[in-house]
Amino acid sequence: MPGKSKYTHIFFDLDNTLWDFEKNSYLAMNEAFKHFIKEPEVIFDVFFTVYTKYNDFLWNEYRNQQIVKKELILKRFRLTFDDLNINNVDPEQMNEFYLSEMPKQKFLNEGAFELLEYLKKKNYQLSIITNGFREVQFKKLGSSGLSGYFAKVFISEIVKTPKPGREIFEYAIKSTNAKKSKSLMVGDDWEVDILGAFNYGIDSIYYNRENSYTESKKMLKRSRENKIYLVNTLDEIKTIL
């Protein structure tokens, strides 16, 4: 069992915590753009910025269960096409191509493998809790070499509830026979990962990769019952565990 830590089970977010979603999605979308977009006046970086705006908005609606998966994957491209006057491109086909390119991108955040090796040697039970689509998330883990570190992978589409909903955390804890008091969530998204874990009643590590920790969050960190650790790099997690 782990030596200096009270924790036994560590639950990781995947995208932007271990797997570099921002870089990988940019590269995957560039491949899709070259394949589908023929208008010479459309610049890829502009396309990606517009797409990201709509995608972030729609993912927020999806997490709040205001739209379903089909609407998300169609509307994020359809709205982008309308905004940039792109015609004769099927949003569903471009989405499928984009998602097929995503797992081919293998960039991880700095220190990911080193951290997982460290935790594995200390016999922590490691699992993934991720929002996303099943056909993509499993492939990401496999192609990037991450899958061998995790005993279980909990994907919102399969569990049928996304983070920050307490249901997905409860499902993960029960499925791994973990105790809440000995469980720890690691993630980069304050609202989705950290407040989600807090509202369920487990400790967490906020991977503040963008160094955007606000004073109000510091106050919450000091005053709340459940412990919230703050790190700016994955390597710092070793000092906690």
Q: Which two tokens stand for residue 203?
A: 């400790």
Q: Rounded distance, CA 241 to CA 97, Å? A: 40
CA triplet 151, 12, 69: central angle to 5 degrees?
95
Cα torsion angle, 44, 48, 49, 53, sign:
positive
Cα three-residue angle 149-151-131, rounded to 5 degrees: 90
Cα–Cα distance, 10 to 15 (Å, whole number):
16
- 169 Cβ contact list (under 8 Å, min separation 6): 11, 129, 163, 185, 196, 197, 200, 202
Active site residues: 13
Nearest to 50 by CA among 31, 29, 68, 27: 29
Are the C-beta atoms of 97 and 110 separated by less than 8 Å? no
Rounded Cα gap, residues 55 and 61, in angstroms: 10
Please name which of 185, 209, 224 lies closest in space to residue 108, comparing C-alpha atoms: 209
